[in-house]
Amino acid sequence: MRLFDEHVVLRFALLLACFLFAESIPDILNFTEHVYNFIPYFLAIVFLAYVALFYKFPMDGRKIRNDVEIPEPKVVEPIRDLRKDLLEKDEMFQMMIDVSSDGFWTFDVASGKVYWSNRIAKLLATDSASLEDSFEPLKKRVIESDWNAFREQLNAALQTSGTFSCTLTLLDASKKNMKLVISGRVQSNNLGRPIRVIGSLTEALDRKSVEREHYNYVYQDALTGVYNRKYFLEKLKTDVDIAAKRPDYVFAVALLDIDSFGAINASYSIKIGDNVLRTIADRLKSIARPDDCVARIGPDVFAVILHNIQSRDPNDDLIPLVRNIHNKVKSPISLEGKDLYISVSMSIVVNQDVDCVEDILANANASLRDMKKGINHGGIQFFSGGIREKAMKLYKLEFEIRRAIQAQEFVLMYQPIVDIQAGNKIVGFEALVRWNQSERGIISPAEFIPIAEETGLIVPMGALILRMACKQTKQWVDMGYKDIQVAVNFSAKQFSMDSMVDDVRRVLTETNLNPRNLKLEITEYTAMCEADKTIEIMRALSNMGIQISIDDFGTGYSSLSYLKRYPVHTLKMDKYFVDHVADNEEDASFARMVIGIAKSLNLDLIAEGVETKEQLDFLYREGCHLIQGFYFSRPLNTDMALEYMKEHYNVPTQGSSFETEPEAVKA
């Protein structure tokens, strides 16, 4: 902002001049006598005053007014290099021609010269250097009748300034005929005279070729090149229909499932996984007989329909055949300089066992599922009737579990955990789920937990169990048992969920339970899965005030170096190692080792499955004081658990009979 305006200063100076001029009028002047002499003075004063007050001074071009908005100056476009633009367009046009699957040509009428694109050399099965600037290269490569037809259509188009298209039969080096389609359009000047012809040359796809491409698109697996699920089901339906009319028509269906294929993708890469699928598909195609059908029907599942089974006993033909296929497929795969060892489970169903597509696939899948869960994992299994019945039973059980979760038919039992060093005082419970089914009554968890794990139903079931346990524990705390702890088991699937910590926090908030009254138990196997992620989850839970317990410690393959990093509070020694501590020195040595590990890491240790006084005496002498097992109590319902707490929560800790005389301990 300027400190003064020169125009204002000038106006002020003119007004000052008016005043000084008026003061300089001679005093001897008499206005009445010399009025004519006064007029010049008066006009001069009026003129100066008018200029000072009303005159608009012109703008100086070098100055910018600050009372108006000056538009931004327009950007002057640089002068374009038209020659360079034309060259760039020609290069772009040439690139488009080169990448096209069609060949392009132009014919200059005045000079008679022909320009051929590089693609035409490939279509004519020759090299670019041999392409002359005439139609001779084309004439040499097509049969005479087609060449004459082309010339006639070209001349007719030049007369009418129209278009043309004709098919040429090309003789390649192996003397096999190949069809090409040559097309052209005539370009004329203002007078209607033809000046050039612009045309294309491309392969002629006959109807069979088009149908073949469509067939491959519909029925071929894009990744592996074998048939897809759609073709497999249609082919299987055809075979079933034939077998219905011909009792002697026998075929078999083999399903091959790549074991732990997800781990291959996770450990290596999806690219490696795709290469594994391609390799297995190639191996199946190479070993399959001409009449067999190889298809990929799932992400990591292949199917083979085996025909030409002639023996009275189909197994006589099938056993050596499927063994050969299985051995071929599961052999190591060399990828990126490394040998990758894979396991493949294979199930076989013969059409004599069933009479429809759905049953064949259901039986094959049931056999495959049963094998992957059993000791024959990664082997070969022929379908038998018992497998299907077992699969149907499991399916029914899965359905009933889903219904039971919605109906809240699951109940909790509570097995006490006591401190024998504190007079057998109860310090907590382990919450154990039971299924109170309306028809069958109480069902053992050994019957439904594995199915829940396999189907993923363990996640909603686990959420229900956690909520029930927290709600019951809160009631006991409000009754005055403020130090009681309830342990809830978490499965590997639950513990691996990204929302796990938030879900636990939400349940604690809804039930208003203090986190110190809750203990979460995970198995040693769960703890070792994705160790870094597990440790992060454990720390988040521990920071909330929740204690973490490692269940079945000693049955897995944990590393003590990892265990030191875990924010763990308690180890639970499995019943398997407690059963014979009193009569087997090897088990006793292992129990001592576990007790020593817990002491060295400053962790609590709970011995599970204690049933005899001899076991209890051994554990007491070795320094394991937290006991869980039938020796003290079986799992109790809610009311019985409350009665147990009333008797064993407030007990004297000094001079207990067990401290002075271990043999006197009673259940």
- pLDDT, tens digit, 9 for 90 and up, residues 560-578: 666 777 888 999 988 888 9
Residue 156 has pLDDT above 80, yes or no: yes
Which of 522, 512, 476 lies closest to 636, judged by CA?
A: 476
What Rg value do the Cα atoms of the chain yield, rounded?
47
Instruction: Tokens for 631, please give them.
Output: 């020796």
Q: Are residues 494 and 628 in the same domain?
A: yes
Supply the pLDDT for residue 516. 94
Here the CATH number for the domain that contains residue 193 is: 3.30.450.20
Residue 388: inside a domain: no
More confident residue, 557 or 426: 426
Q: By the 8 A CB rule, do 627 and 575 touch? A: no
User: In a 3-state reduction of DSSP, which class is residue 556?
Assistant: coil
Residue 652 has pLDDT above 70, yes or no: no
Supply the pLDDT for residue 226. 92
Instruction: Tokens for 136, please give them.
Output: 């001779």
Which of 200, 197, 171 lies closest to 186, judged by CA?
A: 197
Supply the pLDDT for residue 634. 94
Residue 95: inside a domain: no
Q: Which of 152, 186, 204 is the last residue of a domain?
A: 204
**Nearest 5°: phi and psi at 455?**
-90, -10
Q: Which of 54, 72, 89 is the last residue of a domain?
A: 54
CA distance 292 to 321: 12
More confident residue, 391 or 234: 234
Question: Strand locations in 329-437, DSSP E?
Answer: 333-335, 338-340, 344-350, 380-382, 410-419, 425-437
Instruction: Tokens for 570, please give them.
Output: 């308690």
Q: Are residues 220 and 189 in the same domain?
A: no
Q: Are residues 216 and 198 in the same domain?
A: no
CA distance 171 to 129: 19
Residue 126: inside a domain: yes
Here the CATH number for the domain that contains residue 646 is: 3.20.20.450
Mean pLDDT of the chain: 81
Q: Are residues 466 and 494 in the same domain?
A: yes
Interacting residues of 224 by C-beta distance below 8 A, sequence separation 6+: 277, 278, 280, 281, 282, 296
Measured CA distances, 147 to 118, 139, 152, 233, 286 (Å): 21, 6, 9, 49, 44
What is the DSSP secondary-structure string of 129-153? GG--SSSHHHHHHB-HHHHHHHHHH
Amino acid at residue number 320: P
* pLDDT tens digits along 75-89: 555 565 666 666 665
CA distance 458 to 448: 10
Instruction: Tokens for 447, please give them.
Output: 């019957």
Here the CATH number for the domain that contains residue 337 is: 3.30.70.270
Residue 90: inside a domain: no
Residue 75: inside a domain: no
Residue 85: inside a domain: no
Q: Are residues 133 and 189 in the same domain?
A: yes
Supply the pLDDT for residue 666. 38
Q: Are residues 434 and 578 in the same domain?
A: yes
Number of domains in the chain: 4
* pLDDT tens digits along 391-433: 666 677 778 888 888 888 899 999 999 999 988 999 999 999 9
Supply the pLDDT for residue 576. 83
Residue 413's region, left for phi above 0, alpha for psi from -120 to 50, else beta, is beta
Which of 569, 269, 541, 259 lies closest to 533, judged by CA?
A: 541
Q: Are residues 506 and 639 in the same domain?
A: yes
Residue 71: inside a domain: no
Residue 233 has pLDDT above 60, yes or no: yes
β-strand partners of 304:
254, 294
Average pLDDT over residues 17-46: 65
Residue 36, domain extent: 6-54
Q: Are residues 176 and 267 in the same domain?
A: no
Instruction: Tokens for 635, please give them.
Output: 């799992």
Maximum CA extent, the chain:
159
Residue 83: inside a domain: no
* pLDDT tens digits along 356-380: 888 888 888 888 877 776 656 778 8
Q: Are residues 132 and 236 in the same domain?
A: no
CA distance 376 to 619: 39
Helix axes 6-23, 35-54, angle to 10 degrees: 170
Average pLDDT over residues 100-109: 79
Q: Are residues 285 and 414 in the same domain?
A: no
Q: Are residues 182 and 247 in the same domain?
A: no
Q: What angle do CA 433, 595, 559 make, to 5 degrees?
A: 80
Q: Which of 18, 36, 54 is the last residue of a domain?
A: 54
Query: Against a cut of 0.85, is the pTM above it?
Result: no
Supply the pLDDT for residue 101. 58
- Least confident span in 43-52, 148-157, 444-453: 43-52
Q: Are residues 474 and 591 in the same domain?
A: yes
User: In a 3-state reduction of DSSP, which class is residue 315?
Assistant: helix
Supply the pLDDT for residue 244. 87
β-strand partners of 638:
none
Measured CA distances, 479 to 465, 486, 646, 647 (Å): 21, 15, 10, 14
Q: Which value, to the nearest 10 degrees, does the dihedral of the CA atoms of residues 94, 95, 96, 97 take? A: 50
Q: Spell 307-337 as b/e; 16+ CB within 10 A means b.
A: eebeeeebeebbeebbeebbeebbeebeeee
pLDDT bucket at 305, cuts 50 / 70 / 90: very high
pLDDT bucket at 659, cuts 50 / 70 / 90: very low
Supply the pLDDT for residue 487. 95
CA distance 233 to 235: 5
* pLDDT tens digits along 588-639: 998 899 899 889 888 999 999 999 999 999 999 999 999 999 999 999 999 9
H or E element, residue 52: helix 35-54
How far does the chain reach from its first CA to its final CA, in angstroms? Answer: 99
